[in-house]
Chains A and B, each alone.
Chain A
């Protein structure tokens, strides 16, 4: 029973182009979402978050979009840089709780 799904295990994008990473969830109680980036042999590092009262949150080159009716969120990276090559995890939680549920990750490769 996977409540948070990242259906694309990998993605390759040319440097300078847009990277779009997708995440779907099944639990309608989730109202807080985060994206993490992970390099090999390191722990995940926080990238950007969004709560369900918004449908978009932007931080520099990173924008997260939330479509509550579709139970879908996406992370856009523009422009993509080789240093963005990493595994990206989305995570979801419900307000008033503490438990984050993570997806299985998408490996992004940005080609120079």
Chain B
């Protein structure tokens, strides 16, 4: 596809449930980012991949959050034992690499009840 694709668009989870969010970056983009955006806030950095290597996961809020990009393309963000404070929009972005502009997907809106 031409842009960054994320699925699902909306996810409702019961507290304690595990969720998996998928990101298809733009083909050929080396860099992939996950951001979390709470209501009324700006996107906050979660983690960064360069190809399949996760070079920075300093923004992941807890060890319940896990991200992977095994073949350097599609990425999955997994949240285990979801809590209400995990409710947010999760944005995926990709770029050609380095300090290039980011192309964002439409996000997955996660609501934890």
A98-B43 in contact (CB<8A): no
A43-B105 in contact (CB<8A): yes
Q: What is the size, in residues, of chain A's interface with B at 8 Å between Cβ atoms? A: 27
State whether the Cβ of A93 lies closer than 8 Å to any Cβ in chain B: yes
State whether the Cβ of B106 lies closer than 8 Å to any Cβ in chain A: yes
- The closest CB in chain A to the CB of B56 belongs to A99
- The closest CB in chain B to the CB of A48 belongs to B101
Which of B40, B41, B93, B102 has the largest count of A CB atoms less than 10 A from its CB?
B102
The one of A9, A42, A102 in contact with B44, judged by C-beta atoms closer than 8 angstroms, is A102
Summed over the interface, the residue pairs from A and B with CB atoms below 8 Å come to a total of: 56
State whether the Cβ of B66 lies closer than 8 Å to any Cβ in chain A: no
- Chain A residues contacting B65 (CB-CB under 8 Å) are none
- The closest CB in chain B to the CB of A2 belongs to B42
B104-A43 in contact (CB<8A): yes
- Chain A residues contacting B98 (CB-CB under 8 Å) are 98
B56-A46 in contact (CB<8A): no
- Give bound CA distance, A29 to B105, whole Å: 28
State whether the Cβ of A70 lies closer than 8 Å to any Cβ in chain B: no
- The digit string for A31-55, where 1 denotes a CB below 8 A from any CB of B, is 0101010000111111001000000
- The digit string for A75-112, where 1 denotes a CB below 8 A from any CB of B, is 00000000000000101010111111111110000000
The minimal Cβ–Cβ distance linking A87 to chain B, given in whole angstroms, is 9
The one of A43, A46, A101, A105 in contact with B101, judged by C-beta atoms closer than 8 angstroms, is A46
State whether the Cβ of B107 lies closer than 8 Å to any Cβ in chain A: yes
State whether the Cβ of B4 lies closer than 8 Å to any Cβ in chain A: yes
The one of A45, A46, A101, A103 in contact with B45, judged by C-beta atoms closer than 8 angstroms, is A101
Interface residues of B (CB under 8 A from A): 4, 31, 33, 35, 40-45, 48, 50, 55-56, 91, 93, 98-99, 101-107
